[in-house]
Amino acid sequence: MRKAIFPGSFDPFTLGHYDILKRSLSLFDEIIVGVGRNNQKKTMFSEKQRLSFIENCFKDDKKIKVEAYQGLTIDFCKKVGASFIVRGIRNNGDFEFEKAIARTNRKLSKIETIFLLTSAKTSFISSSIVRELILNNGDYKQLVPNSVDF
């Protein structure tokens, strides 16, 4: 079984995340969306809300599971039996950052990282832009799945 995790804080889950996750389904038998707990990061949405946004979005898809985790992503992979990490790349900055993490993960484990380029129509979307729109009463609904409702 080819199992992967798609890790992130998903604060909130965006159409960019949705696109990467849907496109990666053809590559794996199961994908676990790992909602990371980072005590150093202040989130807008609670862990429960973030899990709910994603679970509701994929409630009918048996290949996708959603789980919170804390600590190293490679330790989470080992815990759930995943051999791959899926990451989305929007631009060169993302690539350089993700490349260093992927190389470190591969050095410390045998877990491979699979990079998917974001679609042109979602490449500008980031959780931080969505949070800024929410904080300033902007129209964020065009950038997130319908399940992101609060």
The domain locations on the chain are 3-143
Q: What is the pLDDT of residues 4-46, one digit of tens each?
A: 999 999 999 999 999 999 999 999 999 999 999 887 888 999 9
Q: Which helix (H) or strand (E) holds 31?
A: strand 30-37
Q: Is 17 a catalytic residue?
A: yes
Q: Is 41 a catalytic residue?
A: yes
Single pTM value for the model: 0.94
Cβ–Cβ under 8 Å, residues 50 and 12: yes
CATH architecture for segment(s) 3-143: 3-Layer(aba) Sandwich (3.40)
> Residues 41, 42, 62, 107: which is the catalytic one?
41
Furthest C-alpha separation in the chain: 45
Residue in 121, 101, 97 with CA at minimum distance from that of residue 23? 121
> Residues 22, 63, 90, 131: which is the catalytic one?
90
Cβ–Cβ under 8 Å, residues 46 and 12: no
Q: What is the pLDDT of residues 98-114, one digit of tens each?
A: 999 999 999 999 999 99
In this prediction, residue 105 carries a pLDDT of 96
